[in-house]
Structure formats: C-alpha cells, structure tokens
Amino acid sequence: MDKVINAAIIGYGYMGRFHQRKLAGTKGVILTGVFDTDPNRSDEATVEGLTVYETAEDLFNDPAIDLVLICTPNDSHAAYAIAALAKGKHVMCEKPVTMNAKELEDVICAAVASGRKFTTHQNRRWDRDFLAVKKVAESRNIGSPTTIESKVFGQRGVCFGWRALPEHGGGMLMDWGVHLIDQALLMLEGHRVISVRARLMSILTPAVDDYFELSLRFDNQMEYHITVGTFALQPQPRWFMHGDRGTLKIDTFDPHTASMKRIKQDVRGFDSVFEKEHLGPSRTMAPLKPEFIEELVMPITEDLSHEYHRNLVAAINGQEELHVRWDQMLHVMHIIDLAKESSKKNTVLLTQNLYKDGGYEKLFGGLYGIRRSKPASKRAV
C-alpha cells in the first residue's frame, strides 16, 4: 500500500481551488497546506482547515509535504519550482510552466538534480472536443487532414488582474495559447514544426496580447492555425478541419456540436453540382448535391478529466511515467518564444534549430544531465 501523498498549494486563487477539488477526488493524495501572499486567501484556507504557512520557505521546509502545486501568476513559477525541488518536493506547476524556454531549462536542471517529479498542468489534453478531433485526424475518416483551425473566443474583452500585465506573464498567448499549442503538438505527434508565424495584438487590453493568431506548418505540410480572442460577439467554430475527402466542424467545446461530412467514394465533385444560389457565375464553388455527401458520426470519448491528477499520484508512487513530459513542455515553450519573436519581427520563422540535437525525445533520453554543463541561454532556437 502506497503512503498517502501530502500536498500543499502555493497560490490559493482560482486554480488553487480547482486543484483542491481535484485532489479531493483523487485517491492517495491529501491537501494539507497553503501559502498565498494575500491574507484574505490565507483566511479562506484556514476556514477550510488547511495549514497556512507564513512564507513559501516555511512550506518548503516542512518535511511532511511531499508535493507542491504552484498556482501563482506565471512569473513566479520558475523560482518557486526550483526552490521546492531543492527541498526534495515533487512539483506540479500551472501552465505556462515558466515565462520562456530558458527558464524551463533551469527548472528541468533542478528537477534532474533533485530526482523528484516535475510536471505542468496541460489539462486540456483531456478535453473531449480535442480528443474527438484527434481521433478523426488519426482515423483518416475525412481523408488526410490538410488544415486544422483551432479557435477560442470570449466576449468580455478583458485580460483581468495580473493577466493584463506583461511582467506577470499576462496575455492570451501565455494563457490559452499554451494549451492550444500543446494540443497541436500532440495532434501532430511524431511530426516536426517547420515554421512559425504569429500576430499578437492588443485590442482592448493595452499592455498585453488580448488577441493572437499563430500558424504552425508541420513537416507533413499540414497547417495548424490557432486563433484566440477575448472580444468576439459573433461565434466561430471551435474547430474546423479540412481533409482531402471531407470536412469536420465543431461549434463549441462540446463534441456533440460536431458535424462531419465526407464525399461519397465514387463521386467526382465536378459531376454533382447542385445549384449556384447567390454565388454568381462560378462552377468551382458551386455546392454538391446533398445525396453525394455522407454525414459521419463523431467519435466521442468518455470523460477523462480526472486523468491528470490520477497520473500525477501514480507517477510519484513510481507506477507510471508522467503524462506531461519535459520534452513536450520544452517544445511548447520554444514555440511560444518563437511566436513572440515572429510577431515582433513581423516575419515567418523557420525552426530547424529546435531539432538540431536530434529532436526533443532524444534530448531527454537520458542526455539532459550532460547538457546541464552548457548554459541554457546558449541553446540556439
């Protein structure tokens, strides 16, 4: 029987509370303590019967704590993670795991030195809309995918609180962008990104990007477009995937809002033109007769939202590998760094330097300890 893991949270805000609920529903782990710089949050934790630490150091020095969950604004993640690992704690850090790839390399070095588990919370890997699209892409049900559009829009037009401040790692690229890039890299697992183009804009929040577009070209010539906006009063589909035999659209995060259509096997598009409606003089863009199109059933997965915390506990107990790996985390952060650079320089950036050591998996196939001798900042990206 495994020992129950004692966990503590730094940053008892929205996500701190989220993890409290998740841990309560996970076997083999118990939340015992909290540290937050806001006394109101500390009072709330006291009411919940949790130990409230005066300082983060007090928490790290408590030998009873096995696991630290870092749920503070983004700029404090790296320093807290390094300090916790140095005291022999396992660490789960909210996303974005750090402010940039260089910071992440420093944390990974600390994790290597400590021998403790270290991961980040890429929970949107288990979103059912994403899993459904991934299944369709892999099944080739609409043929080979050529383009995927992944879009998230809100209506409020604000990046609130620390999210509005660049020094805290605010903005939407560092927020939703991290999730959507992680999803893109998983969707195209085994393929490399060959170019990155991004446009970050401040529409209603002055100092950070409250809207961005990011295009990743993969080595199989797939184009993956990510768009995030905080202010859109008309909906766009959450997902749009073009295949060479059909098209998938999902309106929202609920995969039941999907519609997937494929041209029938023996139909040639040119033979099945229906009518031109308001199109004007064009045969190329005329619609197909409906009887030549088949509607496909979307593969919908079970709810796996408990999977992240279950795996975290199993990994700490040495029973499984962590789902969210260092190589994957570093890959995401390199793409984030490149997206910022691309937007600043208004140019497409090629990514060959990302993979020049043989790719991420080779990098972490036991080799990371050797690379520690090189300063992280010298790694060309």
Ligand X SMILES: NC(=O)c1ccc[n+]([C@@H]2O[C@H](COP(=O)([O-])OP(=O)(O)OC[C@H]3O[C@@H](n4cnc5c(N)ncnc54)[C@H](O)[C@@H]3O)[C@@H](O)[C@H]2O)c1
43/271 with CB nearer ligand X: 43
What length is written for the chain? 381
Write b or e for each residue in 125-162: b if 16 or more Cβ atoms lie within 10 A of its Cβ, otherwise e: bbbbbbbbbbebbeeebbeebeebbbbbbeeeeebeeb
Q: How far is the CB of 160 from ligand X (least distance, A)?
A: 9
CA atoms in the 13 A half-sphere facing the CB of 328: 23
Where is 35: in which H helix or E strand? Answer: strand 29-35
241/324 with CB nearer ligand X: 324
DSSP codes of every residue in 157-201: ----GGGG-GGGT-SSIIIIIHHHHHHHHHHTTT--EEEEEEEEE
38/320 with CB nearer ligand X: 38
71/180 with CB nearer ligand X: 71
Q: How many whole angstroms separate alpha carbon 329 and alpha carbon 295?
A: 37
**Coil/strand/helix, residue 34:** strand
Enter the tokens of residue 244.
């060479």
Q: Is 195:217 a contact under the CB 8 Å cutoff?
A: yes
CA dihedral defined by 55, 57, 61, 67, rounded to 10 degrees?
A: 90
Q: How far is the CB of 354 from ligand X (least distance, A)?
A: 24
68/263 with CB nearer ligand X: 68
81/250 with CB nearer ligand X: 81
Q: How far is the CB of 134 from ligand X (least distance, A)?
A: 18
41/116 with CB nearer ligand X: 41
Q: How many whole angstroms separate alpha carbon 323 and alpha carbon 315?
A: 9
Q: How far is the CB of 246 from ligand X (least distance, A)?
A: 31
Neighbours of 10 (CB within 10 A): 28
163/197 with CB nearer ligand X: 163
Q: How far is the CB of 124 from ligand X (least distance, A)?
A: 6
Q: How far is the CB of 43 from ligand X (least distance, A)?
A: 12
Enter the tokens of residue 9.
């949270």
Q: How many whole angstroms separate alpha carbon 77 and alpha carbon 99?
A: 8
Q: How far is the CB of 12 from ligand X (least distance, A)?
A: 5
Q: How far is the CB of 13 from ligand X (least distance, A)?
A: 2
Backbone angles phi, psi at 192, to 5 degrees: -100, 150
Residues near ligand X, by CB under 6 A: 10-15, 35-38, 41, 71-74, 76, 94-95, 121, 123, 161-162, 175
Q: How many whole angstroms separate alpha carbon 8 and alpha carbon 87?
A: 14
Q: How far is the CB of 367 from ligand X (least distance, A)?
A: 29
Q: How many whole angstroms separate alpha carbon 237 and alpha carbon 151?
A: 7
83/314 with CB nearer ligand X: 83
Strands 211-218 and 258-263: what pairing?
A: unpaired
Q: How far is the CB of 290 from ligand X (least distance, A)?
A: 40
211/218 with CB nearer ligand X: 211
Residue with smallest beta-carbon separation from ligand X: 13
Q: Is 32:61 a contact under the CB 8 Å cutoff?
A: no
